[in-house]
Amino acid sequence: MKYNVDNKGFYGDFGGSYIPEMLFSNIDELRKNYLNIVNKDSFEKEFNYYLNKYVGRPTPLYYANRLSEKYRAKIYLKREDLCHTGAHKINNTIGQILLAKALKKKKIIAETGAGQHGVATATVCALMGMDCVIYMGEVDIQRQKPNVERMRILGADVRPALSGSKTLKDATNEAMRHWINNPDDTHYIIGSVVGPHPYPDMVARFQSVISKELIYQLNKVENRNYPDFIIACVGGGSNAAGIFYHYLENSKVNLIGVEAAGLGVSTNKSAATTKLGKKGVLHGSKTLLMQDENGQVTEPYSISAGLDYPGIGPLHAHLFNSKRCEYLSVEDDEAMNAGIELSRLEGIIPAIETAHAFSVFDKLNIKGKIVVINLSGRGDKDLETYIKWGKY
């Protein structure tokens, strides 16, 4: 399996586990146990139970009739927006909280940028009766008030990160510090396919339920279990990893990842990692990373808070390097227009992250082809951003 993680935690040149010594025992405990736990029948049964009864899976594979007509392709939408809490993120938090329980952990910590992963984490902590501490940059707390209050309603303790730029990477540092000081009873839930091994592989496995469902759903309607194209937006890359997962080795499927170019790759307001990034280490893994000439991580920008990340997960760095997946980057306005188009043609207002994936039809040769787009989340959380943008 040349696109999956090797036993040292690498995807080709990328991945690994670059962590301070103080975190070694926590990560090592996870690394040693995660496969045994998630491969147990009893784990799989419980995971599937919650995905089915609580999250609402399987999510529909919806044939987008009017969108298909417009672009002269057969376009299907994988409706992750219909998951409980409004996006794919909960697939992973359900998996990780069950893993935490199996490891006899009592407390959960997480970091969040826009608040979506924080909400998905606070939700499963309430579900399982676990203590929940969420670190969030002070600046993000001001910008994302509704999600902060959602987490508090769910019983989470939202703690501000006051250092650095007071955004996501500072929240991540605080969460790591917390974990170092509470190694025995605490599990750290990371929200995307990033971080030290085994996180990228663990999160990809939990999200792979998306492509697992796609195989039989597509088979039913197309008599063929694979599409010609799969398109997904990429922040850290978890929704893309989930819908690519079972097709990585099938070279008939064109995999397309869509990054946020922000105001443009030639401005310094962008988050297009494959265009602008270089090899580096962030949050415990070697990957592609936006950095200045001194190797300092630069502040990313995108109109969508969930794509506003200076790197991509090591799996994606490898898929990019090996050319297995093509990465496109689209600017704020292109994504916003695509979000409006989906709203008008199909009656679905997408999350702005997701809207990026809908803006690349004209850049691809999809006429007459079967195309599946991962509709990673719904736009309710983004109403204010749509309103502020205003061109509709």
> Residue 277: exposed, middle, or buried by beta-carbon count in 10 A (0-12, 13-18, 19+)?
buried
Residue 277 found at the interface with ligand PLP (CB under 6 A): no
Residues 6+ apart with CB under 8 A from 137: 113, 160, 161, 165, 166, 167, 168, 170, 171
Residue 272 found at the interface with ligand PLP (CB under 6 A): no
* Of residues 17-76, those binding ligand PLP (CB under 6 A): none
User: Do 279 and 320 touch, CB atoms closer than 8 A?
Assistant: no
> Minimum Å distance from CB 242 to ligand PLP?
8
The residue within the footprint of ligand PLP, chosen from 96, 144, 238, 329 (CB under 6 A), is: 238
Residue 377 found at the interface with ligand PLP (CB under 6 A): yes
> Residue 144: exposed, middle, or buried by beta-carbon count in 10 A (0-12, 13-18, 19+)?
buried
Active site (annotated) includes residue 89 = yes
User: Do 273 and 243 touch, CB atoms closer than 8 A?
Assistant: no
Q: Which is nearer to ligand PLP, 227 or 235 (CB)?
A: 235
Q: How far apart are CA 198 and CA 283, in angstroms?
A: 13
Residue 121 found at the interface with ligand PLP (CB under 6 A): no
Residue 16 found at the interface with ligand PLP (CB under 6 A): no
- From 111, 331, 334, 346, active-site residue: 111
> Minimum Å distance from CB 24 to ligand PLP?
26
The residue within the footprint of ligand PLP, chosen from 17, 192, 217, 359 (CB under 6 A), is: 192
DSSP assignments along 92-128, one per residue: HHHHHHHHHHHTT--EEEEEESSSHHHHHHHHHHHHH
Residues 6+ apart with CB under 8 A from 69: none
Residue 233 found at the interface with ligand PLP (CB under 6 A): yes
Q: How far apart are CA 260 and CA 237, in angstroms?
A: 12
Please give the structure tokens belonging to residue 208: 């792979």
Residue 198 found at the interface with ligand PLP (CB under 6 A): no
Active site (annotated) includes residue 111 = yes
Binding string, 305-344, against ligand PLP, x = CB under 6 A?
-xx-------------------------------------
Residues that bind ligand PLP (CB under 6 A): 87, 89, 116, 192, 233-239, 306-307, 351, 353-354, 376-377
Known catalytic residues are 89, 111, 376
